């Protein structure tokens, strides 16, 4: 994958992490459980894509 694409994916991971932490800071009665699950799943997927692409770039 190109480095520009990986940079965009990394920025998406940072934005998702910030949004998730902002949601978790809220009091428990104001937290949106569906939003937390969606952000966690999206963050995990983006992290998986980054991890796979970085491991493919390593020459053993």
Q: How far is CA 17 from CA 1, 23, 52, in A?
A: 23, 10, 19
**Residue 60 reports pLDDT greater than 70:** no
pLDDT of residue 58: 84
pLDDT of residue 47: 93
Task: Write down the pTM of the prediction.
Answer: 0.83
Give the tens place of pLDDT for each residue, 3-42. Answer: 898 899 999 999 999 999 999 999 999 999 999 999 999 9
Residue 23: name the closest of 43, 50, 52 by CA.
43
């Amino acid at each position: 994958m190109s480095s520009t694409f990986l940079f965009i994916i990394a920025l998406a991971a940072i934005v998702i992490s910030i949004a998730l932490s902002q949601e978790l800071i809220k009091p428990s009665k104001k937290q949106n459980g569906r939003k937390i699950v969606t952000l966690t799943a999206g963050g995990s997927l983006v992290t998986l894509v980054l991890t796979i692409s970085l491991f493919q770039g390593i020459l053993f």
